[in-house]
A and B are shown apart, each in its own frame.
Chain A
Amino acid sequence: MTTTSTKANGSGNSSMPIQERDRVTVRFAGDSGDGMQLAGNRFADATAIFGNDFSTLPDFPAEIRAPAGSLAGVSSFQISFSKHQIFTPGDEPDTLVAMNPAALKSHLSALTKGGLLVINEDAFTSGNLKKANYPSNPLSDGSLEGYRIIKAPITTAAVAAVDDLGLSNQNAERTKNFFALGLVYWLYDRDLQPTLDWIEERFGRLPNIAEANRRALFAGHSYGETTEIADAHVRVPPAVLTPGEYRTITGNQAMVLGLITAAHLTDLELFYGSYPITPASDILVELAALREYGVRTFQAEDEISAVGTAIGASYGGGLGVTGTSGPGIALKSEAINLAVMTELPLIVLDVQRSGPSTGMPTKTEQTDLLQVMYGRNGESPLCVLAAKSPGDCFYMVLEAVRLAFQFVTPVILLSDTYLANTAEPWPVPDITQLEPIDIPYRRLEQVDPEDFEPYKRDPDTLARMFIPPGLPDLQHRIGGLEKSDITGDVAYSPENHQRMTDLRAAKIAGIANFIPELEVDGPESGDLLVLSWGSTYGAVFTAVNDAREAGHEVAHAHLQYLNPFPRNLSDVVSRYEKVLIPEANTGQLRMLVRANFLVDAKGYNEVTGQPLSARLLTEAIRKLADE
């Protein structure tokens, strides 16, 4: 063991022949205190630098530290990497790293038949087996037959590797994730250098801890070299991606960058009002660290205050944004309606999670679509967008800002737990190439007071004359009471209420003329269209392609604009015999499509808290195509 070596590339020193594969999926699973998210993220980093395309799926319990060894406390991180472009983190892992019996119990059923199990045999004590409800030890009772197994004494080997550093027992044992990581690096022929650099950066001020982690990583790697498992040593060649500069990005990070970029492009002050809520909290946390960009983050006393302050900032002419998840949207609904009635620009980020009620805070779902469409009192139309991938969150934020100001309306942008936490390689955008975003109120500031009426509308967009306070001779009052057309005075006349109801609806419907038409991938008409929205894009894209490879003619279209729909959607759905709408809910988009276009759309629906399974969806597509 040496720590002076900086390059340790397994393929050179192994006697075992190396296998080549197109795509591999690995899942790390352990106690929530075992550092599985950290190990997974390091693996993703090394994979990015190696040049594979990849996609990750962190999955962790809502409890910060459930009892050690319990089933409730299992945390996992899946990564799929490929020589081709990929769009999902993979359905079934080829390799499962199980740090304890609970992790094995929770995740074994996902492992592909004949898959590789890397097991920390030290953790298979009678106590831990009992906590995981194992009547007998699966390592010896034959129940793991059919899998390839690497049983490694991960804890004791890691502790031995750091033996002379004088660490506490607890700290020594904590290096076991780096041991496991080193072992997996060997299995998949990863360069250790990016992780060594990261250790130096992260733990440089704690040289003992840094050294311990380095040693555990090397020890795990060496352990791999001496394993004698057949076909374990695998290489996935780099993917051919569009040339350019890449970084890894999660959906929440992309939201943050999108907001900063929107503020930069518009030269508006960014105000982000939010109350901490899983899985949206990271947006608040990351924005709070960017004061140098003039960001005013406001950790509100509750969800209502979070949106109220954002509305106040918007009313003042700023870029007012609030972010939350489904339960927070429910609390914000009345205030969002105020922004509908006062017709103010407002950005609402909804990072959806499993419901109803508190539901499963760390699990994903697409179940807020109908809530954001209709979950407010009165006829309350607003603009709804949905991101389709982590990187797409960036571009959809820019789009939300553009539409909010152009149409002077609240815009709700839907993401979800899966997009929020999943990481993928992302071509870094060139900000000089991004579309500018127009802020119409700046032109209105030159208006002659004689021509100013707060509810006079732009003939093209139907946007009202929104002008922030501060300009002389333009003083006016707005509010939640019904407004008189043009003057904005309080009005109760029946004719006016009908007219204003129609105008608010027409304004939002008219956005369809300012957004792209829906593109169809595959045949322009025919037997089967698969129509999807939001984070299921990757799984649906993959499933459609798999069905095509199996000989089916399938078209695919993906919606990023949910309200209004793209203006050609009616035409698109009418061109196919069958329409299949896969969703991680019980059929919310399907209900909208059926209601709007009288199309007998079928659903493929999973409400499991997990991303849609591309494999099961492929089967559903093939079955419907055969009908």
Chain B
Amino acid sequence: MVLQTPHAPEPVESIIPLASEDLKRKDYASDVDTRWCPGCGDYSILAQMQRGLSNLNVAPEKMVFVSGIGCSSRFPYYMNTYGMHSIHGRAPTIASGLKLARPDLMVFVITGDGDALSIGGNHLLHVLRRNMDVKIFLFNNRIYGLTKGQYSPTSELGKVTKSSPIGTTERPLNPLSVALASEATFVARTFDTDPQHLTATIEQAARHHGAAFVEILQNCNIFNDRAFADYTDRDVRNERLLYLEHGQPMLFGENEDKGLAVSATGLRVVDTDGPDAGLILSHDATRPAPDVHQLLARCQYPEMPVPMGVIRRVNAPTYGDYIDSQIEVAKFKNRQDVAQLLRGRSTWQVE
């Protein structure tokens, strides 16, 4: 029994440029040797990205991966697509310009917690706010890996790192809250050690028409090992993660014996066989108001289960949709005559 009946408008899907033949995962892998540390969570993400794209059968030549700087940003080199390994924090800008100039291309941004939330924080807000039709995958390992272990904007308060030998003195950002506050139309979270969930989330993001933001919890086994293990390890996953399904009650626990309900102060955990079982919410990713989505984004271990999956997915015109329609209308209404434009409002003749 659920309190709330989700309304689920048909999602507007992104037009995926399809390959002419049936492609396999390896068709999306470039011949460049991967250079991440052995055991890095990035390997799994790379493999699932290739799998997800082969499931969708995307034409590799119509895909562009744009990245910034950091371990994750090496990603484009390993994909047999077009790609640009750009500069620190700026991938969303390059991806935006590319997508506006070339709506036929599918544009993915690969970024990290430092790249997206520290040096590139401003661009992340605006690419989401504008609903640019680009898919952003933020590999969150809560550490600076490529510079060898300084704290990041998602490192927990008090964390001891090379640049915080007696603990950090700053509070972390919550990437999902930032994305929701930036009016993102698609917000999801997944993690490196659940390949099936990772692949499915990548596919859903790819299908979204508009800006998609996916936080991927990714283990850095060198500088921040087991950062998410408390809730992502196989033996605790079912108890401590909440796998979200649109339209389904928000249940978790080994035997789906717990659920989330609204309380006066936010969300709370209730037992499915307790007196408040009837108050368990169904997940509505398409709900226009981001209120419950924000509450979900704030759920943290150990007080609450950690949500995984698509938190928000709403339909909205993209920046490109708006500007293309302005151009179409202007072309219909106004003359295109460069010679006349050069003459301006008035001219005079010198004899």
Contact = CB atoms under 8 A, between A and B. Distances in A.
Interface of A: 45, 48-49, 51, 241-249, 253, 257, 260-261, 264, 269, 271, 273, 290-296, 298, 300-302, 304-305, 307-318, 320, 334-335, 337-338, 342, 428-431, 468-481, 489-490
A309 B99 CA distance: 9
Contacts of B329: 291
Contact of B336 (A292, A300, A335): A292
B348 to A, nearest CB: 5
Given A293-B341, A305-B126, A469-B62, 11 more contacts: A51-B350, A243-B351, A292-B333, A296-B100, A301-B125, A312-B66, A312-B99, A334-B87, A431-B342, A472-B60, A475-B60
Given A292-B327, A310-B97, A477-B77, A241 B350 contact: yes
B123 interface: yes
Interface stretch (B101-109, B169-177, B221-229): B101-109
A317 B83 CA distance: 14
A293 B338 contact: yes
Contacts of A337: 87
A335 B338 contact: no
Given A469-B64, A472-B61, A489-B32, A305 B93 contact: yes
Contacts of B263: none
10 contacts: A48-B348, A246-B349, A290-B341, A302-B122, A311-B93, A313-B101, A317-B102, A318-B102, A429-B342, A469-B98
Contacts of B62: 469-470
A477 B84 contact: yes
A312 B96 contact: yes
Given A479-B76, A479-B85, A245 B101 contact: no
B152 to A, nearest CB: 20
A257 B341 contact: yes
Interface residues of B, number: 62
B331 A480 contact: no
A95 B30 CA distance: 73
Contacts of B90: 304-305, 308, 335, 338
Given A247-B346, A477-B30, A468 B102 contact: yes
B334 A292 contact: yes
A246 B104 CA distance: 42
Nearest to B75: A477
A293 B328 CA distance: 10
A512 B34 CA distance: 42
A271 B100 contact: yes
Contacts of B339: 430-431
Interface centre among A290, A314, A316 (most CB of B within 10 A): A316
Interface in B55-82: 59-66, 69, 76-77, 79-82
Contacts of B97: 271, 273, 298, 308-316, 320
A6 B330 CA distance: 36
B347 interface: yes
A316 B333 contact: no
A315 B64 CA distance: 11
Contacts of B85: 477-481
A215 to B, nearest CB: 24
Nearest to B28: A475
Interface centre among B61, B125, B350 (most CB of A within 10 A): B350
Contacts of B69: 480
B348 A49 contact: yes
Interface centre among A300, A308, A428, A429 (most CB of B within 10 A): A308
Nearest to A273: B97
A296 B338 contact: no
B94 interface: yes
Contacts of A301: 122-123, 125-126
Interface of B: 30, 32, 59-66, 69, 76-77, 79-87, 90, 92-102, 104-105, 122-123, 125-126, 323, 326-327, 329-331, 333-336, 338-339, 341-344, 346-351
A202 to B, nearest CB: 11
Identify whether the interface residues of A are mostly helix, strand, loop, or mixed.
Answer: mixed
Contact of B86 (A48, A305, A475, A479): A479
A312 B95 contact: yes
Contacts of A479: 76, 83-86
B344 A247 contact: yes
Contacts of A302: 122
Contacts of B30: 475, 477
Contact of A490 (B77, B338, B341): B77
B327 A246 contact: no
A150 B104 CA distance: 67
A474 B79 CA distance: 13
Contact of B330 (A291, A313, A431): A291
Contacts of A249: 344
Contacts of A312: 66, 93-101
B82 A294 contact: no
B158 to A, nearest CB: 32
B282 to A, nearest CB: 36
Given A296-B323, A312-B98, A480 B350 contact: no
Interface centre among B95, B123, B342 (most CB of A within 10 A): B342
Contacts of B335: 292
A476 B82 contact: yes
A10 B343 CA distance: 30
A137 B77 CA distance: 75
Contacts of B326: 291
Contacts of B100: 271, 296, 298, 309, 312-313
A410 B351 CA distance: 41
A469 B105 contact: yes
Nearest to A294: B327
Contacts of B66: 312
B61 to A, nearest CB: 4
Interface centre among B93, B104, B330 (most CB of A within 10 A): B93
Contacts of B60: 472, 475
B64 to A, nearest CB: 5
Contacts of B327: 291-292, 294-296
Contacts of A51: 348, 350
